[in-house]
Amino acid sequence: MLFWQILIDGFAVGSLYALGAMGFALIFGVSGVLNLSHGALMVAAVVAAWAAGNDLHVGPYAGAAIGVLVGLVASLVTYFAVVRPLQNSQKIREDEKEIFILTATLLWGIMIQELIAYFYTNNAKTVSPIVGGVINIAGVRTPANELFTAIVCWIVIGVLWLLVNRTRAGKAVLAASMNPRGVTLLGIELPQIYIAVWAIYGVLIGVAGVLLGMFLGVSSYSVGPLTASAFSIVVLGGLGSVSGALIAAYVVGYLETMTAYLISPAYRTIPALLLLVVVMYVRPRGLLGRR
């Protein structure tokens, strides 16, 4: 019974982690940006979906759509207001821009976190689930919303794979992650690629955030752990590797789930962090990292 409980819960948690971390890995792989406002953008999407249901009294579908839209808008605002001005700045040396962007996104995330706490307090917010009820799987009573979360995550991941590997625009994004200079020689403008990638990232974190709000709920205090979790997963999988992030997300998801059930929920993040330290010593570029 416990085996099936861990198997089911770990799969749902890993799917959520995968969806959130794949966007994080995508923007680093293409534009080289480590976005430390990641957790804040996810929480903003959750709070928007929650507020739409509680303040505007819209249904769960409309609330979820508003949450995803806020994730998309917040992502694009982050790019245009924080990242792009630093990338294009003539006053900052090229070799210093990465640390400036890293610091700026961190501060931007803290600003969003404090705004959320000011207007909506630090209390946990839970989004009304789209699917209710309980399903019995191998003798384990599992909330239908948990399975719905995993299914939606994999549908979005599948759509992302098709977009990147089966469309002209997606192949341009893939080429930009491998050889940015070569893409410009083909007449493709890198700024357009970056905008498209940040838009995709916004949709991914919007969906992941809304599903997280339905599954577990979040508060402004979740900003740090969500960013740290995504960062750990992409480092473990290999910076810039979307496939590596997918694999690492399930490794971390199952490690955390097993720890929560077999030891204590208070220690659920420790084994994954220890694994990350080991991987950084044994294979610094991660499981499937290119750099």
Per-residue pLDDT band for 177 (boundaries 50, 70, 90) equals confident
The matching CATH number, chosen from 1.20.120, 2.60.40, 3.40.50, 1.10.3470, for 2-282 is 1.10.3470
Q: How far apart are CA 136 and CA 244, in angstroms?
A: 32
- 73: confidence class by pLDDT, cuts 50, 70, 90: very high
Q: pLDDT exceeding 70 applies to what percent of the chain? A: 95
Closest CA to 207 of 29, 10, 33, 18: 18
pLDDT higher than 70, residue 186: no
pTM reported for the whole predicted model: 0.90
pLDDT at 226: 87
| Alpha helix (H) residue ranges in the chain | 2-31, 38-54, 60-77, 84-88, 94-120, 144-166, 168-178, 180-185, 190-215, 223-237, 242-262, 270-282
Beta carbons of 15 and 150 less than 8 angstroms apart: yes
Residue 290 has a pLDDT of 56
Question: Beta partners for 166?
Answer: none
Residue 106 neighbours by CB distance under 10 Å: 16
Say if residue 123's pLDDT is above 70. yes
Neighbours of 97 (CB within 10 A): 17
Cβ–Cβ under 8 Å, residues 257 and 6: yes
User: pLDDT class for 276, splitting at 50, 70, 90?
Assistant: confident
Model pLDDT, residue 65: 95
pLDDT for res 105:
96
pLDDT tier at 291 (50, 70, 90 boundaries)?
low
Predicted pLDDT at 289: 63
> In terms of C-beta distances under 8 Å and separation of at least 24 residues, what long-range contacts does 89-98 make, across chains too?
98/32, 98/34
Q: What is the pLDDT of residue 275?
A: 84
- Beta-carbon count within 10 A of 92 CB: 15
